[in-house]
Amino acid sequence: MFDSRKIEDLLQDDASIYDYAVVLRSSASSRPRYVAYVVPTGVPSVARITSRLASTLPKRQMPYAVLAVSNLPLTPSGCVDESSLCKLAVIDDKLVQRWRDAALEIL
């Protein structure tokens, strides 16, 4: 399995992404796969982010999913809390409010 650095490099260079985490997730029914969690700077476009990754990464290196979240949970030491991250609702109230705020700015 490859490491997540190529995915992380592309996410870091995306101005529409405020923060991100790439986590290797596995289940009993499938092989381990990377999931990219992104905190967008405004109205998120997961399709655009996924398309950008697909235009650069080989298919086998694409994350299984790109999920927009309002924030990344942190441990007391400031590291991303992966176990809490996997439990987050993908679309939550904070994210919806940020979408509304961004849409009002456009109008």
Q: What is the pLDDT of residues 21-31, one digit of tens each?
A: 999 887 667 78
pTM of the predicted structure, to 2 decimals: 0.77
The pLDDT value given to residue 57: 93
The larger pLDDT score, comparing residue 20 to residue 107, is at: 20
More confident residue, 62 or 26: 62
In tens, the pLDDT along 79-99 reads 999 988 887 655 545 666 677
In the chain, % of residues over pLDDT 70: 83
Say if residue 8's pLDDT is above 90.
yes
Does residue 53 have a pLDDT over 90? yes
The whole-number pLDDT of residue 24 equals: 87
Binned at pLDDT 50, 70 and 90, residue 43 comes out as: confident
3-state SS, one letter per residue, for the chain: CCCCHHHHHHHHCCCCEEEEEEEEEEECCEEEEEEEEEEECCCCCHHHHHHHHHHHCCHHHCCCEEEECCCCCECCCCCECHHHHCCCCCCCHHHHHHHHHHHHHHC
**What is the rounded CA–CA span in Å between residue 38 and residue 57?**
17
